[in-house]
Structure 1
Amino acid sequence: MDLLEILFQPYQKTPLKFIVLEGIAVVFGLLSVVFSKRDNILVFPSGMISTLIFVYLLWEYQLIGDLMINSYYFIMSIYGWIVWTRKVDNTNFIPITKINASEWKKAIAFFMSASVFTILIYFVFGKWENWISAVDVLTTAIFFVGMWLMAKKKIENWIFWIIGDLISVPLYVYKGLYLSSIQYLIFTLIALLAYQAWKKKLNKPQAKLLK
């Protein structure tokens, strides 16, 4: 069995349009992460295209936790777009910064709230099944915090992305979404590089949002 056969075997009974849409969503998702690494405002429109497609696909697959993540991404992309375009003076936009002690407390509270909310959603929709549901709750909460911190241009967002991506790689393999699993593996590598790239720009306001 060659690599392509392994990758596409789970899609044998999947409508072609779903396969094509997932491929498009993956491409725009990767572009979004690359733009984020470069501190480029295009992170948001590219990410919004990807998340909208995934919302549709995940609804069809009835993967509620993942659907919630992508719906939240879309909303936070709008918020992030607004935040990133704020200026600290007539020339420069807000810089990349670190979160302080108060923001760490908010991040922890956000993580706990997102976990509880996701658990409630699973039970309301009757989707809590096994350990996969518990892992979905964990990754949902991690990604919720990561997206919030990215929208606020906090360097620690990459720590959350790295952790969540590493968990998602084997999780999506188990779910049979191999293309998405490969996407998260690439996300992990880009996030590691992005953390280093953002460190070099820490506390340095930028004059351009398109780079």
Structure 2
Amino acid sequence: MIDFLFSQYEDYSTLQIILEIIAVLFGLVSVWFAKKNNILVYPTGIVSTVIYIYLLYKWELIGDLLINIYYTSMSIYGWWLWSQKKENQVEYPIANVSKKEIGLGIVIFIITVFFVVLVYHFFNKFTSWTAYVDTFTTGIFFVGMWLMAKRKIENWILWIIGDIVSIPLYFSKGYTFTSLQYVIFTVIAIYAYKEWKRNLVN
């Protein structure tokens, strides 16, 4: 069982393995803070995504690299939005997505997928099924991150979909720790959706 899960790491450097574990831990902490509607989701998330940017560059995973560059920039944007207050009240509280935001989200998804397809064609990365799935998950996560920055409860639905797809995706790529991270992400996202929904009602 151990060999099945971790034999992929035989050719990896110790530094890369340690960095992946650190990135996973900070990623889990970040999602936990997001579940709690705590602004610390962003600084902890930035640590994770910056480490992944380095690792994904070394692993030549272009789509995943783009996702984490976007995560980092959106984390800065979300950190700023979540810190805004009016009369000592949070300016952007938990809310449902509007029809306009649904339309904009669809546009973001389409543009993202189109962009990733162009990048993959340029780098000749459409060599396995994982590349095609990457285009889908990238679009899902781009919209999910944008909705989280705006504190829209529907962001969790997109995270759940993307996380479930990412579990076998990352395992097949040989990144067991990251795959296990997405298992935990999925569980946290389900509970986070329920918790945000309760806060929305109250």
What residue in structure 1 maps to residue 182 of structure 2?
184
- The reply on whether 1:170 has 2:157 as its aligned counterpart is no
In 2, Cα distance between equivalents of 1:203 and 1:124: 47
What residue in structure 2 maps to residue 129 of structure 1?
127
Q: How does 1:196-207 map to 2 (within 5 A)?
A: 196-202=194-200
Q: How does 1:90-101 map to 2 (within 5 A)?
A: 90-93=87-90, 94-101=92-99
2:153 to 146, 155, 177: 155
Runs of at least 5 residues in structure 2 that lack an aligned partner in the other structure = none
**1:45 partner letter:** P
In 1, Cα distance between equivalents of 2:181 and 2:4: 16
User: So what's the TM-score if we normalise by structure 2?
Assistant: 0.96
**1:179 partner letter:** F
- The reply on whether 1:23 has 2:21 as its aligned counterpart is yes
What is the deviation of 1:17?
Answer: 0.2
Between the two proteins, the alignment pairs up a number of residues equal to: 201
Secondary structure at the counterpart of residue 11 of structure 2: coil
What is the deviation of 1:15?
Answer: 0.4
Secondary structure at the counterpart of residue 21 of structure 1: helix
Contact 1:96 1:203 in 2 (8 A): no
Q: What percent of counterpart residues are identical?
A: 50
What residue in structure 2 maps to residue 209 of structure 1?
none
**2:149 partner letter:** A
What residue in structure 2 maps to residue 141 of structure 1?
139
Runs of at least 5 residues in structure 1 that lack an aligned partner in the other structure = 205-211
User: So what's the TM-score if we normalise by structure 1?
Assistant: 0.92
In 2, Cα distance between equivalents of 1:21 and 1:136: 22
- The reply on whether 1:53 has 2:51 as its aligned counterpart is yes
2:81 to 80, 83, 108: 83
Secondary structure at the counterpart of residue 202 of structure 1: helix
What is the deviation of 1:203?
Answer: 7.0
RMSD over aligned Cα atoms: 1.1
What residue in structure 2 maps to residue 62 of structure 1?
60
Q: Are the structure 2 counterparts of residues 103 and 203 from structure 1 closer, same or farther at C-alpha, using a change threshold of 3 Å?
A: farther
Higher relative contact order (CA 8 A, sep 6+): 1
In 2, Cα distance between equivalents of 1:202 and 1:95: 9
1:108 to 106, 109, 113: 106
In 1, Cα distance between equivalents of 2:68 and 2:130: 18
Q: Deviations over 1:60-116 (max 9, x none)?
A: 1101010111110000000001111111x3221121011111110001111001000
Secondary structure at the counterpart of residue 126 of structure 2: coil
Q: More helix by proportion, 1 or 2? A: 2
Q: Deviations over 1:16-64 (max 9, x none)?
A: 0000000000000000000000000000000000000000000111010
